[in-house]
Amino acid sequence: MRTFTASLSFAVLTAVSLPALSSTSSLTVISFGGATKAAQQAAYFQPFESSGAGKVVAGEYNGELSKIKAMVDVGHVSWDVVEVESPELIRGCEEGLFERIDPALLGDQANYLPGTVSECGVASYVWSMVIAYNTQKLSTGPASWADFWDTQRFPGKRGLRKGAKYTLEVALLADGVSREDLYKVLGTPEGVNRAFRKLDEIKQNIQWWEAGAQPPQWLVAGDVVMSAAYNGRIASAQKDGSKLGIVWQGSLYDPDHWAIVRGSGNKALAEKFITFASQAESQKAFSSQIPYGPVRTEALAQLPADVQHQLPTAPANLADAQLVDAAFWVDHGEELEQRFNAWAAR
């Protein structure tokens, strides 16, 4: 989810217009593009091709289930494997848009992080929503979401993602709700009201972002004093020389998943690809390219210490982090997003 592009690539437009692939030697894999896709190319697509299993035709999209549903409904499936976020995996599985995956293909599930293998998909990597700040502009940075809300100690604009998801969670964390009780509280009308009241406190200080590239750009430019941000985007900026800091305390983490589009003419090859991409060696290669966490536990231990400490799945970073409740957002997302949009527009 963290490197979305503004529009569909030519590759995707072509994939939608072409008839379903009939050759088992070619596999169409659709992901979110950007730096993530570049890492997937190096860690998964090229090595899979080099193994002789088949050619990967890589495309990208913005995560819309509607495009997948349209293909499945008309029986004209031209995508084989897609990268999806957790709520979309649940929805798509319930709506029959994805093939069931045989867990036996993936080996012992004890080797995977909890909740990363399901009936319609297997997680590809884990990303986090963190607090980021410019260390050159703040000698003492924030340490929590409560600090993020403290406009006295840290005057200035702060960036938040323009949407209910993640924003309501961090508002409640800033208001003192524990990680363990987060979705229990947010699942009540009183909890939702509490989150919006907390957002009211800093509404005039919020600069809303809609693209993952915006927070690091704003932080470097001094447009915001701190921001919620995708950890991979901040790490990429750090690699480019920007003096940005990450606060892992109270971070929200979530996996992205591989799924096979129902009706794919290349199901067997798609299963081979997902099995290949789920190996510890492949995941190690991916996390070496971009700081998103592997879902295979043994892959983390194989990475150098300086790489591990940047990953959401490093034990120290997971210690005070909260898994995003995908089922909660499937059940309540539409109503909460509508309320958020109405509140933000006021």
> pLDDT value at position 64?
86
Quickly name the fold that domain 10-126+254-318 has. Answer: D-Maltodextrin-Binding Protein; domain 2 (3.40.190)
> Which residue type, as a one-letter code, is found at position 265?
G
> pLDDT value at position 212?
87
Where b means 16+ CB within 10 Å and e means fewer, 83-105 reads bbbbbbbbbbbeeebbbebeeee
Q: What is the DSSP letter of 80?
A: -
277 close to 44: Cβ distance less than 8 angstroms: yes
pLDDT tens digits, one per residue of 306-341: 899 999 999 899 999 999 999 999 999 999 999 999
At 123, which helix (H) or strand (E)? strand 121-134
> pLDDT value at position 12?
35
Q: In 32-137, where do the E strands start and end?
A: 55-60, 81-85, 117-118, 121-134
Residue 67 CA to residue 87 CA, distance in Å, equals 16
Pairing of β 226-230 and β 158-161 = parallel
pLDDT tens digits, one per residue of 169-219: 999 999 999 999 999 999 999 999 999 999 999 999 999 999 888 999 999
Instruction: Give me the percent of the chain exceeding a pLDDT of 70.
Output: 93
Architecture of domain 127-253+323-345: 3-Layer(aba) Sandwich (3.40)
Instruction: Give me the percent of the chain exceeding a pLDDT of 90.
Output: 84
Is the pLDDT at 24 greater than 70? The verdict is no
**3-class SS of residue 264:** coil
The residue ranges of every structural domain in the chain are 10-126+254-318, 127-253+323-345
Comparing 10-126+254-318 with 127-253+323-345, is the CATH topology the same? Answer: yes
Residue 101 has phi, psi (to 5 degrees) of -110, 130
Whether the full predicted model's pTM is greater than 0.85, yes or no, is no
Q: What sign for the dihedral angle of Cα 233, 239, 244, 250?
A: positive
pLDDT tens digits, one per residue of 229-273: 999 889 889 989 999 999 999 999 999 999 999 999 999 999 999
